[in-house]
Chains A and B, each alone.
Chain A
Amino acid sequence: MPPPLESAQNPQALKRVVIEPLTRVEGHGKVTLLQDEHQNIKQARLHITEFRGFEKFIQGRPYWELPVLVQRLCGICPVSHHLAAAKATDMIVGARELTPTADKIRRLMHFGQTLQSHALHFFHLCSPDLLFGFDDDIRHRNIVGVIEDHPEIAKQGVLLRKYGQEVIRITSGKRIHGTGAIPGGINKSLTKREVAYLQKDITQIIGWAQDSVALVKKIFFEHYEYHLAFASIESNMMSMVSPNGAFELYDGGLRARDPRGESIFDHAPYDQYGQYIREGIKNWSYMKFPFITSIGQEHGWYRVGPLARVNNCDYFTTPLAEIERKEFMAMGQGTPVQSTLAYHWARLIELLHCTEAIAELLNDRDLHGTDLLNKGELQNSGTGVIEAPRGTLFHHYEIDEQGIVEKASLIVSTTNNNQAMNESIRRVSNQYLDGNTLTEALLNQVEVAIRAYDPCLSCATHAIGKMPMQINLLNENNELVDRLEKRANGLIDRTL
C-alpha cells in the first residue's frame, strides 16, 4: 500500500489546495490538498457532505411501504434501493425464500437496472477523455483515432440504456416509481407479449455489449502502462458471490479478499454484515469510512463495484462474459487487478453479462408463473443487501409491533468506496500537482480518478445548488495564492 498521507505531522505549516466539484443533483464534494515547503503533497482529502436524512425520512413509515418509499432517496439508482428494501422486507415478513417466479423477475429487473446504468459508460466512450484522461496531445490524438472508427457509439449507448429502462418498466410495472417488488415477492408476473417485446431486440443488444467491451479494451491497451498506473492503489476488495463462487448481483454471500487475492472472509451471510464490516468516523469528513472489522480501520478499507466484483468472482455463468473475465484477470498475473481505470473495463464486462443473463431469463417459463408471494412469521428486523451498479448496498430496518419502522440503517455503494476514492486522489495529486500553480491537467485528472468509481453522491450527500468546480490554492497562512474555476460551459478560468 502507498505510504499514508492522510494526516500530515504539521498541517499548520502546509499549503492548502481546495477543489470543489458541485452539482445540484450529485451533491457536494471537495478535495483539499496540502503542500509542504518543498511543494510535495502531504495531505489529500475528499470531503463529501454525507446526507444524514435517510433515517429520518424512513422512520415512522410502515415497513410495507419501504420498497416504494426508498426509490425517492436517489434518482440515479432507485431500482437498487427498491430491491434492497424489498429483500429486507422479505425477511421481515418471514419469506425465507422467494417463489421461482418472484426471484427471477426481480433478477431480471436488477439486470435491466445494471445494464442501463453501465450503458452510460459505453456512451461516454465517445468522449473518452472523460473516462481515461490525457496528459498530452499524442495520447489524445491516438484515442480520438480509435473512437473515430466507431461513429455509432453514442446511438448504441443510448439504445442500450433505453433497453435496460424497458426491462425495468416491464418488470416493475411503471417507467418510474415502479411497484414490482413487494414484501415476500412481486405483484405481477410477465405476459408472453411482454417477454416477446423484450426478446425482439436482445440479440442486437448482446452484440452492442460485445462491441462495448472490445472498444474499452482497445482504449485501455492503446496506452496500457499509463492506464494501468493512473490512480492505481492497492486495496482490499469486497463483493457478493453466489454459493458456488460465481459472479452475483442479487443474492449471495459476502466475499472479501486482500490485495494479494487472499481470502479475508468468504460466503459471509449478508444479514450479519455488522460482524464483518464497521463504519469509521474521521474528524475532517461528514461521510463515514467503512472498513473490514478483522483488519481495522487503518488498513481495512476496501473497494466495491465492478472492479471488486470481477476480481472476486470465480467465474461468470454466461459464456461471453466469462471469456472477457479471463482476459481481464490475466492482467493481474495471479493477483487482483488494482488499476483504478480498469473499473471502466470491468463495468462493461458486467454490462455484457447482464445482456446474456437477460436473454437466458427471457426463455424461462417461470416468468409467467402465478405463484408470486411467500410469507411466514413476522420478524422485527430485516436486512437486504444487493450489488447495486456502483457496489454493495446495505439496507437494515427494525420495526415495532405495529409494523412501523423504528430504525433504518443504510450503507450506500459510494460510502463503501469513500476511503478508496481518497487514496486514488492522493495518487493522482502527487503526480500532477507540481509547484504552487494549479493546472487544468490536475483538475481534469482528479475528475477522471473520481469518475472511475462512478460515485453517486446524490444519495450519499445533501443536494446543493449548482455551482462550478473550483480549485483554490492557499498557503500555510490560509492566503489564496491561486484559483482555477471550471464553469458550466466547460471553460476553465484563472480567477485569482
Chain B
Amino acid sequence: MQDSNKNDQAAPILIFTYGNPSRGDDALGPAMFDLLDKHQQETHELDRVELLTDFQLQIEHALDLQGRKSVLFVDASVSCTEPFEHNKLHAKRDDSFTTHAMSPSAILAVYKQINHHEPPPAFLLTIRAYRFGLGQDMGEQAKVNLNKAFHYVLNQCLTAPEPHN
C-alpha cells in the first residue's frame, strides 16, 4: 500500500478543485475542473497538470500531493474578495481536522505528519460565492467570477505558481 502511494509518476502540477456541484455556488470548484478539463481536451496545453476534484477535502487527499512540484486548491468562498483571491498556503493543523471537511492547510499538515517532510508549495484560489442551496444553480455573479478565475489560472498560475496578488 505504501509503495503504491509514492506517486512517482505524478504530474508536476496538481490542481485540486472541490465543492458540491448541486449546491449553488459551491459548484465553482467542480466547474473550474470542467473548464480546465475541456481546455486540456481541446488544446493539450495542460500536459504538466493533473486535475482532480471531490466534494470536499479529507485526510487521504494528502496522498495526492506526493511527488508534486506545485499544488493549487480551488474552492468557493463567501468571504473572499471579488472576483477571487490567490494565496499561498502553509501547513497548519486547524479546527477543520475535527470535521468531515478539512481545510487545504490542514491537508498540508497531514502530509507533513505522515511523510515527515515539508509538502510541496501549495496555493489556494478562492472564488467569491454567494449561495449554497441544495438544487440551486450557480448564480450569475459567481459565473462571472469563475470566468475571470479560469483565465487567471490559465495565464498566470500554470506558468508562475507564485501568487500574484
Contacts and interface: CB of A to CB of B under 8 A. Distances in A.
Interface of A: 23-26, 51, 53-54, 56-57, 72-73, 75-76, 78, 116, 120, 123, 126-127, 130, 154-155, 157-159, 161-163, 165, 175-176, 200-201, 204-205, 447, 451, 456, 458, 463, 465, 486-490
Contact of A130 (B53, B60, B98): B98
Given A26-B99, A176-B55, A154 B23 contact: no
Residue among B52, B62, B78, B135 facing the most chain A CB atoms (10 A cut-off): B135
A175 B26 CA distance: 19
B1 A176 contact: no
A25 B56 contact: yes
A463 B23 contact: yes
Closest 9 CB pairs of A and B: A75-B55, A72-B22, A25-B101, A201-B1, A57-B135, A155-B114, A162-B60, A53-B134, A161-B60
A486 B55 CA distance: 26
A123 B26 CA distance: 27
A72 B20 contact: yes
Contacts of B97: 127, 130
B2 interface: yes
Interface of B: 1-2, 4-5, 20-23, 26, 52-56, 58-60, 62-63, 78-79, 94-101, 110, 113-114, 132-135
Residue among B22, B23, B100, B113 facing the most chain A CB atoms (10 A cut-off): B100
A461 to B, nearest CB: 11
Contact of A78 (B55, B95, B99, B100): B55
Given A158-B59, A458-B100, A489 B95 contact: yes
A26 B110 contact: no
A interface SS class: helix
B1 A165 contact: no
Contact of A200 (B4, B21, B22, B99): B4
A72 B21 CA distance: 7
A57 B134 contact: yes
A162 B110 CA distance: 14
Contacts, number: 103
Contacts of B62: 158
A463 B114 contact: no
A175 to B, nearest CB: 7
A158 B114 contact: yes
Residue among A25, A116, A165, A487 facing the most chain B CB atoms (10 A cut-off): A25
Nearest to A490: B95
Nearest to A163: B1
Nearest to A57: B135
A116 B60 CA distance: 9
A488 to B, nearest CB: 5
B54 A175 contact: yes
Given A25-B99, A154-B114, A176-B54, A161 B135 contact: no
B2 A463 contact: no
8 contacts: A72-B22, A120-B58, A154-B114, A159-B5, A162-B1, A162-B60, A176-B53, A447-B98
Contacts of A78: 55
Residue among B20, B79, B97 facing the most chain A CB atoms (10 A cut-off): B20
Residue among A26, A75, A486 facing the most chain B CB atoms (10 A cut-off): A75
B94 A489 contact: yes
A488 B95 contact: yes
A456 B101 CA distance: 11
A155 B133 CA distance: 36
Contact of B101 (A26, A155, A157, A487): A26
A57 B22 contact: yes
A154 B113 contact: yes
A143 B118 CA distance: 28
Nearest to B27: A72
A53 B1 contact: no
Contact of A161 (B22, B58, B100): B58
Contacts of B98: 130, 447, 451
Contacts of A463: 23, 26, 132, 134
Nearest to B24: A463
Contacts of A154: 110, 113-114
Contacts of B20: 72, 75
B154 to A, nearest CB: 24
Given A72-B23, A72-B134, A463-B26, 12 more contacts: A51-B134, A54-B134, A76-B100, A120-B100, A155-B114, A158-B60, A161-B60, A176-B55, A201-B4, A458-B100, A458-B101, A489-B95
Nearest to B54: A176
Nearest to A164: B60
